[in-house]
Chains A and B, each alone.
Chain A
Amino acid sequence: GAGVSQSPSNKVTEKGKDVELRCDPISGHTALYWYRQSLGQGLEFLIYFQGNSAPDKSGLPSDRFSAERTGGSVSTLTIQRTQQEDSAVYLCASSPTLNEKLFFGSGTQLSVL
């Protein structure tokens, strides 16, 4: 596709349930990022994938959060046992290489009831 694609665009879940958020980066981009945007915390870095290197997971807020990137392309962010404080917009971005401009998707609005 032309841009970064994220699905679903909206997700409503009950507290305690697991959710999976998907990101399809721009073809050929080796770097993929997840950020979270919430009213209280603003835009926060979560995790970074670069090629076949080990991802930098230092931004993940707890061990309930995990992410993987299969085949160097599609990425899935998984949140287990969701909590109300997980409610936010989860943004995925990709870039051709490091330190290049990031292309962001439209995000997944997650609401935990």
Chain B
Amino acid sequence: AQKVTQAQTEISVVEKEDVTLDCVYETRDTTYYLFWYKQPPSGELVFLIRRNSFDEQNEISGRYSWNFQKSTSSFNFTITASQVVDSAVYFCALSERGRGYKLSFGAGTTVTVRA
């Protein structure tokens, strides 16, 4: 069975602060995919990143960066210099090879960025 844990329920920061969202996963598969999705108040889940289990390179996209560490089964997400528009619920998710359509989502972390 696979499981994704996002221990932080809510995070509140002031604009321009950095914020890191933790994600820890469990899986018995050696091939799997990890995702982050953003759900703004409008409700539509927006894809942010997909990473396969063989690619441990960290990735940066603008103010977003991801740290994938297989040794600790973690796939953490950092927003640098946060902005009010970053306020949303962020979900980490896992899928296994062969059943890539079945995403197991974490409970989500609500990020509130105050002006």
Contact = CB atoms under 8 A, between A and B. Distances in A.
Interface majority SS (helix, strand, loop, mixed), chain A: strand
Given A99-B33, A105-B44, A43 B105 contact: yes
A48 B100 CA distance: 10
A107 B101 CA distance: 18
A58 to B, nearest CB: 8
Interface string B79-115: 0000000000001010101011111111110000000
Interface residues of B, number: 24
Contacts, number: 51
B91 A106 contact: no
Contacts of B71: none
A89 B45 CA distance: 12
B43 A50 contact: no
Interface residues of A, number: 23
Interface string A53-68: 0001001000000000
Interface in B46-105: 46-47, 50, 91, 93, 95, 97, 99-105
B18 to A, nearest CB: 25
B42 interface: yes
13 contacts: A42-B108, A43-B93, A43-B103, A43-B105, A48-B101, A89-B43, A93-B45, A98-B101, A99-B101, A102-B45, A102-B47, A106-B43, A106-B44
Interface of A: 31, 33, 35, 42-43, 45, 48, 50, 56, 59, 89, 91, 93, 98-107
